[in-house]
Chains A and B, each alone.
Chain A
């Protein structure tokens, strides 16, 4: 059970949060210009890394804000947390 440092509320128990999948996958600005393959790449393809992964999380039972997390999926170490729109920390 993680202890997650919400950038708006501070440290809270994991049960207040919901994971939202891989981060930094921007919705294409002009979807109609994309081929089926390009659209499928956006829609379905996720890396699912064993190791350092960039993820979206939402403080569902708190401030309801989305934020980003860098987590090592092999040992669940949370390496960094930063707000939406901010640049990911250098790895």
Chain B
């Protein structure tokens, strides 16, 4: 039976707008303005999840983004589902569904709860220790762990929402719109700084707008009333942009911040469509003002995790802001004055407060006196030693605390209650500050880490900077603003603040119990179920570094990054190890502050916008003619052209035969093309290629091999001399950008004296490669007046010609070993050129072929493909390409490395050909090669790099790299496969037309 705990109308809740939603399949009602958490609490639902390791029932603890327990799956089973969402941040809307995570079959009856009773067997490092052995069992363990302890389910269908990115440049970014953030933003904007104010919540004002301590006044008004006026005022200031529901996820160096602006998550499904759901703001700010506030700390005591145990400030916010009582019988447990404000809030609304348990001896502040007048029982110098109630708190046991705070004495008192508000002091939210690279120091008196040395233009104001009282906040904010923004006057100069004198808190990181420590469960990290016992165990086992203890115990490693308990973990380590907290340091808080969906991160770069792809000018023709495509770098290249339902193998066999028997045509537009000009162009080529270039005549082409400085083959291609000081270099398709970058590097940094200019012209030309014995006849038909005789236009030469009025550059070069021409035209004529070739070639049955056939044909000739037959460890000597390495040239890139003792080893892997004894067996590329079968372990001699069935040779051929392969010609080796061993013979890598007779056929 559900009760209604709505106690008083609140200005932030619209009680005329009733909303129904479902939680774990059951329908509840709330109002516009509620979060899922406040609406559930109003329905008296505290149990919302199970803990990760012990599956203990857990309830809502907080009212904000630091929530460790109330982690829900929103809209389960739909394409908009999202796991790991904090119920405290979900704004309810009609039709919202949410479910608990990490429990099966239900949150009320959870099979994994057995882990709680087995918990003595689940100490820190349990998973590491147990599931490591035997290794082969890991898969089974993993299945079990994932099944019983999943953290939500990722969506299985496409995300229907739109996400966006936006760049923002501002003078001042203010993070957090509490009192300090609002005043900072107002004064920055009024002084003509272009200012952006962001806050993760949907309302401005932070905690001050539900501040109810009647002894605090600003200009004789209650701080909440005073701030509401300020909020109205800043909504209309020039230069100030305000974004709510905007959470800063990351703060990088140089004031670069990423924030998620949430635009539709609070809307009904029908209002979400065709809108941007979330926007990632990429903010570059000249100055950053962090006003991120502080998070209330829990207290660490035995069984401090039951549903109904909450932060005291959250109890107050639910009462003041949402008008919800978190319980009917409330108890507070505190080490400072702030719990009294919460108690007073409940008292004033007629909600029953049973008692306040204070570990201090006394406090004389006005608010405490006021509570005394109400008659609420206060237990001074007492501590909670245990709590009871499995799915909901039903009582706490308290005892007198010893003077030194390490033990409890006297008799035990039991107090019946259904909600416990815990107040352990405040931790400045310095997460973003540390992300920026700035350093913290520990304040021994306040027991907090505070900003110390910042690395960028930033200030931390308000409680995240260590000022917790309104008078301090305003005074220090005023100084910092004047100093940082270089302004003389602010409207803070004349504000009058009165505050209640607060008594200092008493800090005890781990509170004692009457039970032996080993029998207690004081939780430090609620989400990951790490207790104080785990931390002490880690220390006993020898872990010293805070980073190691964190990983071993998983403290702070949940989706909440341990926002609540990290300080206590550090405190317990310091106390146990006898060191100062300042010396211990902190663990690193990493972005994002709260989890981000992938959609927000990728923005518009999804589907066809995921990556850029490049298409050749002939692409439409390939598509129309049903080519299959492959990705080469960013290019879409025609792979093969199946006809009449051919398989890839059948198509490639047909294309390969046709290219050698009559004529083939390949779209070679993707090859990289670099235009090289300048009076030192020849000298430049001499330095970057292994062979000599000075004597290349104008109108001639030459193949070149480019090395890295370490002597390894980097790229290859044909370069043509177009004029005295003008060359056009071709590179591999994938290497084009890198080659240009490398050449620029040498030109700018090593040889600035050379007069050379490099221009990428890859996209400016379209290239059709015509090959085969009939290629000459086809070209003759296209350009009748060009003399194609071997005397006028021999192999490895170049002509300029016109096809009609279109200029073209023709190179007679070959990558297939056939008589062939590469015809280059301005890119916009590419498709016309292609059609013209097809038309002219029709009578010769011209056959289009793709990259696969190109690879096969070149393999028949033993031509390498850089990146397939080489892998960055092959020298030209290893490739048996000694012929291309100039002995005469004094220097070229990589030359010296060819004479290092390592590159001169005889037993390096060298390129060879392989023939299978059975000509029908085609080897697998990547397969290992051995010389012995009966050895264990067997030495791997190398691997197959290229392998095809050659239709022209009617047998299987392969290229491979083999240790010492050069002197193995004729040797029998083996390629061991899963089910068989394949016998192979080492041969010369040139399989076809070794004498190159076909080039001139």
Contacts and interface: CB of A to CB of B under 8 A. Distances in A.
Interface of A: 1-3, 13, 20, 26-28, 30-32, 34, 36, 39-40, 43, 56, 58, 60, 64-66, 75-77, 84-85
The 9 A-B residue pairs with the shortest CB-CB distance in the complex, in nearest-first order: A31-B896, A1-B256, A3-B254, A66-B748, A27-B750, A1-B252, A76-B253, A39-B896, A66-B749
Contacts of B709: 27, 43
A39 B891 CA distance: 13
A56 B749 contact: yes
Given A32-B891, A75-B455, A65 B748 contact: yes
Contacts of A3: 254, 256, 284
Contacts of A43: 709-710, 897
B748 A32 contact: no
A39 B748 CA distance: 22
Nearest to A74: B437
Interface in B879-909: 890-891, 895-897, 899-901
A4 B901 CA distance: 42
Contacts of A39: 896-897, 900
Given A36-B900, A39-B897, A40-B900, A84 B752 contact: yes
Contacts of A66: 744-745, 748-749
B741 interface: yes
A60 B741 contact: yes
A31 B745 contact: no
Contacts of B254: 1-3
A64 B744 contact: yes
Contacts of B897: 39, 43
Interface in B719-744: 741, 744
Nearest to B250: A1
Nearest to A40: B900
Nearest to B437: A75
Interface in B746-764: 748-750, 752
Given A13-B256, A39-B900, A85-B752, 17 more contacts: A2-B253, A2-B254, A3-B254, A26-B750, A31-B891, A31-B895, A32-B891, A32-B895, A34-B896, A43-B709, A56-B749, A58-B741, A58-B744, A65-B748, A66-B749, A84-B748, A84-B752
A76 B741 CA distance: 25
A75 B438 CA distance: 9
8 contacts: A32-B895, A36-B900, A39-B896, A43-B710, A56-B749, A64-B744, A76-B253, A84-B748
A1 B891 contact: no
Interface residues of B, number: 24
Contacts of A27: 709, 750
A9 B732 CA distance: 31
B57 to A, nearest CB: 43
Nearest to B896: A31
B253 A84 contact: no
A20 B745 contact: yes
A79 to B, nearest CB: 13
Interface in B607-660: none
Interface in B241-279: 252-254, 256
Interface centre among B284, B709, B896 (most CB of A within 10 A): B896
Contacts of B752: 84-85
A39 B899 CA distance: 10
Interface centre among B254, B437, B710, B891 (most CB of A within 10 A): B254
Contact of A32 (B710, B896, B901): B896
A43 B709 CA distance: 7
A82 B895 CA distance: 31
Interface in B884-940: 890-891, 895-897, 899-901
Contacts of A60: 741
A1 B901 contact: no
Nearest to B748: A66
A60 B897 CA distance: 28
A43 B900 CA distance: 11
A30 B284 CA distance: 47
A36 B895 contact: no
Contact of B901 (A20, A30, A36, A75): A36
Interface in B671-730: 709-710
Interface centre among A2, A20, A31, A75 (most CB of B within 10 A): A31
A38 B897 CA distance: 11
Contacts of B896: 28, 31-32, 34, 39
Contacts of A85: 752
A3 B283 CA distance: 12
Contact of A76 (B437, B890, B895, B899): B437
Contacts of B455: 75-77
A8 B752 CA distance: 17
A58 B745 contact: yes
Contacts of A40: 900
Contacts of B437: 75-76
A23 to B, nearest CB: 9
Contacts of B901: 36
Contacts of A32: 890-891, 895-896, 899
Nearest to B890: A32
B942 to A, nearest CB: 25
A34 B900 CA distance: 11
A45 to B, nearest CB: 13
Contacts of B741: 58, 60
Contacts of B899: 32
A27 B892 CA distance: 11
Interface in B430-463: 437, 455
Nearest to B284: A3
A61 B748 CA distance: 16
A28 to B, nearest CB: 8
Contact of B749 (A34, A77, A84): A84
A75 B253 CA distance: 9
A26 B899 CA distance: 20
B898 to A, nearest CB: 11
Contacts of A58: 741, 744-745
A73 B254 CA distance: 14
Contacts of B750: 26-27
A66 B750 CA distance: 11
A30 B901 CA distance: 18
Contacts of B748: 65-66, 84
Nearest to B455: A75
B896 to A, nearest CB: 4
Interface in B843-894: 890-891
Interface string B321-334: 00000000000000
A84 B750 CA distance: 10
Contacts of A26: 750
Contacts of A77: 455
A31 B709 CA distance: 11
A76 B436 CA distance: 11
B759 to A, nearest CB: 11
Contacts of B890: 32
Interface centre among A1, A20, A56, A66 (most CB of B within 10 A): A1
A28 B890 CA distance: 13
Contacts of B895: 31-32
A64 to B, nearest CB: 6
A80 B745 CA distance: 21
Contacts of B284: 3, 13
Contacts of B256: 1, 3, 13
Contacts of A20: 745
Contacts of A31: 891, 895-896
A74 to B, nearest CB: 10
Contacts of A84: 748-749, 752
Given A31-B891, A84-B752, A85-B752, A1 B900 contact: no
B725 to A, nearest CB: 21
A30 B891 CA distance: 8
Contacts of B745: 20, 58, 66
A26 B741 CA distance: 18
A57 to B, nearest CB: 11
